[in-house]
Copies of this chain bind each other. A is one copy, B any other.
Amino acid sequence: MSIHVVILAGGAGTRFWPAGRHDRPKQLLPIASEHSMLRETLERCAPLAPAERTWIVTNDRQATDTQAEAPELPAAQILAEPHMRNTAAAIALAAARIARVDSDAIMVVLPADHVIRPPELFARTFEAAAQRARDAGTLITIGIEPSGPATGYGYIESGERVAEVEGFEVRSVKSFKEKPDARTAADFLAAGGYFWNAGTFVWSVAAFLDALGEHLPGHQKVLDAMAPELDAGSAPSAELYARFENVPVDIGIMERASNVEVIPAAFDWDDVGSWLALDRLRPRDGNGNVVTGEHVGIDTRDCIVIGRSDHVISTVEVADLIIVSTPDATLVCSKNRAEDVKKIVAELKAKGRDTYL
């Protein structure tokens, strides 16, 4: 029972505009380091599975750039969705392909655009989860120990402790909670036993396909219809793919299944939700600035300056700004409005300025 890594890389984030574009989402950008987030995810997963057991689910438009970031992967293991149909469909597609090459596989499923450190603890956590999935046949999610009452994530309410594997606790799952308000989040932390839902899963391909058949039979039917392409390892037809219900795996399967467990993770985790994440992930200089590319600053404090090597950004007496320069667009945004970058994207779209999207 070997581990297969499935990296979900199909997002279309708008929060990293103008570096992030329609065809160049967060995972293809060098956010946390000089390498793309996808590249960092591949490096992080390498100890779990070699390239021949690593899969990426992306979409048609990003497939070429994705392959370029993952040159070690066989082209057939980069699965390009012809439509966006959310995580249940993306994972079902990967599971159906993996089942055909290794019916005993253990799947490790995780997003391409999170930062997890240190890599050794990441690998040990997922190896323990894989061992539990192998032994117990359960559907396992990795829960993140909350560092505060965040309202930006879903929560996992755990039940009793059911096992310990390689020093990692395994707990049953009582329920999945939507993103809470501040008061509810504080209640979760006070009660204890709540973890952030990071969208990372470990299970055997058999257990997953069983659960799919039981809880999302519509998905199973699409896979059945897709059997010729899946057998041949060719791209799924757009017409068939469009039939998948648009539902996240959390809601479609995890909330409904009874054999769900959580393994609390002790690693540092960041979902890199906006440009503001760079303050956490990158070193700051003596003035509190995070800088990439060429910058000349006078009286510049606590700014995030994302430039280029052939372009200088200069700043005079500014503070707490996010400044991003690309060849065709510049962003100057107050740090406390980092979330509103997507409003800029929406306004450009409304104005028909598609060239900037």
Binding site for B on A (CB under 8 A): 18, 294, 296, 298-299, 307, 310-318, 321, 323, 325, 327-334, 336-337, 340-341, 343-344, 347-348, 351, 353, 356
The 8 Å CB contact of A317, one of B315, B327, B329, B336, is: B336
The 8 Å CB contact of A333, one of B315, B327, B343, B344, is: B315
Q: In the complex, what residues of B have CB within 8 A of residue A310's CB?
A: 328
Q: A310, A314, A356: which has the most chain B beta carbons within 10 Å?
A: A314
Q: Are B330 and A317 within 8 A (Cβ)?
A: no
Q: Are A333 and B316 within 8 A (Cβ)?
A: yes
The 8 Å CB contact of A296, one of B311, B312, B327, B348, is: B348
Q: Are A311 and B337 within 8 A (Cβ)?
A: no
Q: With the chains together, A315 CA to B318 CA distance in Å?
A: 14
Q: Report if A311-B328 is in contact (Cβ < 8 Å); known contacts: A316-B333, A334-B316.
A: yes
Please list 14 pairs of residues, one from A and one from B, whose beta carbons are closer than 8 Å in the complex, sorted by A's number: A294-B353, A296-B351, A298-B337, A298-B343, A312-B330, A312-B353, A313-B332, A314-B332, A315-B332, A315-B333, A316-B333, A316-B334, A321-B332, A330-B330
Q: In the complex, what residues of B have CB within 8 A of residue A18's CB?
A: 312, 314
Q: Are B321 and A318 within 8 A (Cβ)?
A: yes
Do most interface residues of chain A lie in helix, strand or loop, or is the interface mixed?
Answer: strand
Q: With the chains together, A333 CA to B316 CA distance in Å?
A: 5
The complex is assembled from copies of this chain, and their number is 2
Q: Are A341 and B316 within 8 A (Cβ)?
A: yes
Q: With the chains together, A348 CA to B294 CA distance in Å?
A: 11
Q: Are A316 and B337 within 8 A (Cβ)?
A: yes
Q: Are B316 and A330 within 8 A (Cβ)?
A: no
Seed contacts A310-B328, A314-B331; 14 additional CB < 8 Å A-B pairs: A18-B312, A298-B343, A311-B328, A311-B329, A311-B330, A312-B330, A313-B329, A313-B332, A314-B344, A316-B331, A316-B333, A317-B334, A318-B334, A323-B330
Q: With the chains together, A307 CA to B329 CA distance in Å?
A: 10
Q: In the complex, what residues of B have CB within 8 A of residue A298's CB?
A: 337, 340, 343-344, 347
Q: With the chains together, A310 CA to B351 CA distance in Å?
A: 15
Q: With the chains together, A138 CA to B141 CA distance in Å?
A: 92
Q: A312, A327, A341, A356: which has the most chain B beta carbons within 10 Å?
A: A312
Nearest-Cβ distance from residue A318 to partner chain B, whole angstroms = 6
Q: With the chains together, A340 CA to B315 CA distance in Å?
A: 10
Q: In the complex, what residues of B have CB within 8 A of residue A313's CB?
A: 329-330, 332
Q: With the chains together, A341 CA to B314 CA distance in Å?
A: 9
Q: With the chains together, A178 CA to B340 CA distance in Å?
A: 50
Q: In the complex, what residues of B have CB within 8 A of residue A337's CB?
A: 298-299, 316-317
Nearest-Cβ distance from residue A357 to partner chain B, whole angstroms = 11
Q: With the chains together, A340 CA to B328 CA distance in Å?
A: 27
Q: Are A329 and B312 within 8 A (Cβ)?
A: yes
**CB-CB nearest in chain B for A353:** B312
Q: With the chains together, A114 CA to B213 CA distance in Å?
A: 78
Q: Are B329 and A332 within 8 A (Cβ)?
A: no
Q: With the chains together, A298 CA to B340 CA distance in Å?
A: 9
